Amino acid sequence: MAAMTGLEIEIAHKSYPPLGSTPMRRIFEGFHLSVDPGAFLCLLGPSGIGKTTLLNMIAGLDTDYSGRIEFGGTAKPRMAYVFQSPRLLPWRTVLENILLPLPSTEAAQRTALDLLASMGMSDTKNVYPERLSLGMQRRVALARAFAIEPDVLLMDEPFTSLDEATADRLRDLLIGMLVRRPATVLFVTHDSRDAIRMASRIIALSGSPVRAVKDISVGLSQGERQDKGAIEAFRGRFLAQVQ
Amino acid sequence: MHFAWSALSIVVLVVAWQGAASFADPRLLPGPGRVGATLVGAALEGSLFTNIGITLARVLASFILAMTIGTAIGIALGRVWLLNRFFDPWLILFLNLPALVVIVLCYIWLGLTEAAAITAVAINKIPNVAVTLREGGRALDRDLLEMASAYEIGRWKTLRHVILPQLTPYFMGAIRSGLALVWKIVLVVELLGRSSGVGFVIGSAFQLFDVSTILAYALAFVFVIQMIELLILQPWERRLNQWRR
């Protein structure tokens, strides 16, 4: 197994410039976060406080900040990003979408087909994404992320606007994929149940500029995570005042 | 059903033409029969196909040149705000420059050559392509560009899989209006400074007061352009759009 990648995040300053009548917003001010290799870290907090901004900075999409983000182990880890909307290319088939970040080789083709098969989606490989349900599209986005065998997996509320049963199946799928192909995960959500069900560590964020108000490691067993009662109990114990 | 209406409409036009011709001086307005005979004559002799072929080659060359350069300029202007700010007046100047001025200047500066002819047509078309594609460049989906950048798929793949497919409708628009514009300008270029092609033949027929040849060549060329639309552009567009629901 490849050496796992940890993250060392130090954001000295990040703000959004004033826009019209809204004043300048300071998002991060002396924000520090260190993530262990192989952790499943959930960033929990209300919408609009800067969780997505943080992921974008880690992914290198947003470079307009002062501070540093370092990856332990490798200088440049392979990074996959599952966005809040699936962001698939509507003019490419499911298979072509998964192949997009891969080199055009036979091996890549096999990887993509294997992934589709393991997700039970082989029959959709030649379908255009817009003909699929949202749940299926999110599944394809997940397959695309795992196709590059990421060291770091960024996920931004990837299971929103799904019915509970579909979201639950996707959570199981994600856990299953991670067992087969471990990665360091940063998972952004505003749903604490989502967090408790999957995370090894939960950080609750709040305020402007953002601070970590809670930092909890989740020691639940796989069985307890399937149990709604256990999740509610955990939530009551640790997170009641956050959410 | 659609085809039947088109056929009926064309028949009515031919009948009206015949009706008008029977009242007019046959030298000024020859009827469909005479024009048809001229057409068959030119076809049998071979000059019809040679000239249309030459003109089509010029249309194709200047068209490809204009689409390539115009697309590149359009995307750059649509994506980079500063470039657009600076070059917008240039674009407006070239958009409003009369085709005739560009043609005459190209012939003066480059000589009465094939290169001058094709350059002149391309320069006339480039600003239109650039303006259309600029709108496309502005409307590119930011989410997908971010996805491409997060997965580091590289410039070439981003262009091919993310950017160009989004530009397809703008591209098809530029091709449609482009084809109609380019072939008309090619005829003027041929009239002014070439000794072959449909424009040249029409120029000679004008000297000889040969209206029948003018109409025969015009009709033949319109037919060819329509066939390009039906047999190449429409099937191509259908293929490009098959992903749409």
- Contact (CB<8Å) B149/A89: no
Nearest CA in chain A to B241: A91
Which of A61, A91, A92 is the closest to B146 by Cβ? A61
Closest chain A C-alpha to B146 CA, distance in angstroms:
7
pLDDT tens column, A181-222: 899 999 999 888 888 888 999 999 998 888 888 888 888 887
Q: Name which residue leads in pLDDT, A93 or A231.
A: A93
B157 interaction partners in chain A (CB closer than 8 Å) = 100
Q: Mutation test of the interface with chain A: which of B145, B151, B156, choosing the one with the most A Cβ atoms within 10 A? A: B151
Task: Tell me the pLDDT band of A42, cut-offs 50, 70 and 90.
Answer: very high
For B47, the token pair is 């000059």
pLDDT tens column, A79-105: 999 999 999 999 999 999 999 999 999
Determine the pLDDT at residue A174: 92
Average confidence (pLDDT) over B56-73: 94
Determine the pLDDT at residue A103: 92
CA distance A24 to A26: 7
Can you say whether the dihedral through the CA atoms of B189, B195, B196, B202 is positive or negative? positive
Its pTM stands at: 0.80
Phi-psi group of B209: left, alpha or beta (phi > 0 → left; psi -120 to 50 → alpha; rest → beta): left
For A161, the token pair is 């606007």
Whether residue B167 has pLDDT greater than 70: yes
Determine the pLDDT at residue A3: 62
CA distance B187 to B199: 4
- Contact (CB<8Å) A87/B146: yes
Query: Which residue's structure tokens are 């880690």?
Result: A58
A235 touches B: beta carbon within 8 Å: no
Q: Which helix (H) or strand (E) holds B173?
A: helix B164-193
Largest CA distance in chain B: 73
Nearest CA in chain A to B143: A87
Q: Name which residue leads in pLDDT, B1 or B11.
A: B11
A128 touches B: beta carbon within 8 Å: yes
Residue of A33, A32, A34, A39 lying closest to A4 (CA atoms): A39
Closest chain B C-alpha to A229 CA, distance in angstroms:
38
Determine the pLDDT at residue A113: 94
Instruction: Kindly report the average pLDDT of chain B as a whole number.
Output: 91
Whether residue A177 has pLDDT greater than 70: yes
Beta carbons of A142 and A177 less than 8 angstroms apart: yes
What letter represents residue A64's amino acid?
D
Beta carbons of B221 and B180 less than 8 angstroms apart: no
Nearest CA in chain A to B144: A87
CA distance B90 to B178: 20
What distances in angstroms separate CA A130 from CA A86, A147, B30, B64, one per listed residue? 11, 21, 56, 33
Query: Which residue's structure tokens are 């469909």?
Result: B32
Determine the pLDDT at residue A242: 52
Alpha helices in B46-157 (DSSP H): 47-79, 81-96, 99-110, 114-138, 142-150, 155-157
B240 interaction partners in chain A (CB closer than 8 Å) = 91
Average confidence (pLDDT) over A40-68: 92
- Contact (CB<8Å) A130/B245: yes
Give the long-range contacts of residues A231-238, CB within 8 A, separation 24 or more.
A231/A193, A231/A196, A231/A197, A234/A196, A235/A192, A235/A193, A235/A196, A238/A202, A238/A214
